[in-house]
Chain A
Amino acid sequence: EAGVTQFPSHSVIEKGQTVTLRCDPISGHDNLYWYRRVMGKEIKFLLHFVKESKQDESGMPNNRFLAERTGGTYSTLKVQPAELEDSGVYFCASSQVQGAVDEQFFGPGTRLTVL
């Protein structure tokens, strides 16, 4: 069974540009989460989808970040325009069961560098 995949693995962009990150969850997992780790700090929650619906987007830093999950399969996270403080590793995770103790399976992350 394929795990959670993320694309690209690395992205280097200039301040003010746009970047779109993609996450493909494990097939059949309704829950999809985005997290971010800024250098030297803890991994922080950004948002949670259940199928195509945003369940919780309380961790999104500001309106420069837009997440979508059309059709309830893969998800994209767009940053527009990117700022220096957006640099970090963006993780996606998926799980099967909502509202119960369930393992979240993580992807390898996308390392974003904003220059």
Chain B
Amino acid sequence: ILNVEQSPQSLHVQEGDSTNFTCSFPSSNFYALHWYRWETAKSPEALFVMTLNGDEKKKGRISATLNTKEGYSYLYIKGSQPEDSATYLCAFDPILTGGGNKLTFGTGTQLKVEL
């Protein structure tokens, strides 16, 4: 059974604060790590797909790093805005025989940005 853990479970920050969350995953059979942003009743939106150890990706004020050897990824948000309020999900994408990308998700970090 694959175990993907995210911390913290929830986070309240003030507008303008920078914040970060952690995703830990198995270090064996690694293929990719996905980050999604999800607002309830909307489609989870893909933020990053990360594959290489040491990878760092950036999209606007959001960035992510990857350490496949120790099995963790960090997501950073710089200068949080109220519209960043959402649940941030990571998903482990293992090497599978026979193809297919069967994602294993963490429970998510729920971010609330207050004015």
Contact = CB atoms under 8 A, between A and B. Distances in A.
Contacts of A109: 41, 43
B101 A95 contact: yes
A101 B55 CA distance: 15
Interface string B76-115: 0000000000000101010010111111111110000000
Interface in B39-66: 41-46, 49, 51
Contact of B41 (A45, A55, A105, A108): A108
Contacts, number: 79
B93 A42 contact: no
A98 B99 contact: yes
Nearest to A41: B107
Main secondary structure of the interface of B (DSSP, over half): loop
A42 B106 contact: yes
Contacts of B44: 43, 91, 106
Given A42-B107, A106-B44, A99 B51 contact: no
B42 to A, nearest CB: 6
Residues of A in contact with B, size category: 20 to 34
Interface of A: 3-4, 9, 31, 33, 35, 40-45, 48, 50, 55-56, 58-59, 91, 95, 98-99, 101-109, 111
Interface of B: 4, 31-32, 34, 36, 41-46, 49, 51, 89, 91, 93, 96, 98-108
